[in-house]
Structure 1
Amino acid sequence: MSARPQVSYLTSTSSASSYSSSDSDLSSTSSVRHSMDSTQPIVSVEVLRCLRCARAEEITSTDDPSSMGMVQIGTNIYYCNRCAKMTGYK
């Protein structure tokens, strides 16, 4: 027979004290989280480049690529309007 290590269990007094400290931690983190939600999102500038002719357009993350003359053909892959018409995407 092999000897097993002794398992120690939490007593009710130690678990009650850990619950009371975690309650105060939750209230402090929720107030911090609330203040972070009220901040404005950061807008980034992206350069879209045509896959065929390498024409580039700078747009912000809130702009629509089609308004700048670019057609999205895949994830982060774009054609300009001219190349999209020649390849049949538009």
Structure 2
Amino acid sequence: MDLNQVVTLSPDVISQEVSGETVLLDLNSEHYFGLDEVGTRIWQLIDSSGNLQEIYDTMLNEYEVEADQLLEDMAQLLGDIEKAGLVALKAAS
């Protein structure tokens, strides 16, 4: 994963936080997706910043996690939600 990328939320996705977790609805496919507490925090940071380096740095400060593990987990989550069309990744300008 390239931390010099920017991630943006799809305008066709609505989200609702429920008890610390987030439910996403893709209006195009009508599929629901669920995010746990950590995924919810990443979603919030995408919504507020979108800068992967800032998201990574924030998560590293907020959670007790090894840097390599965080990078791997973020890559997995972002890959999954990008494949589902919930977000788009692009090079930072």
Q: TM-score, normalised by structure 1?
A: 0.23
Greater relative contact order structure (CA < 8 Å, 6+ sep) = 2
Structure with more of its chain in strand, by fraction: 2
Q: TM-score, normalised by structure 2?
A: 0.22
**Whose radius of gyration is greater, 1 or 2?**
1
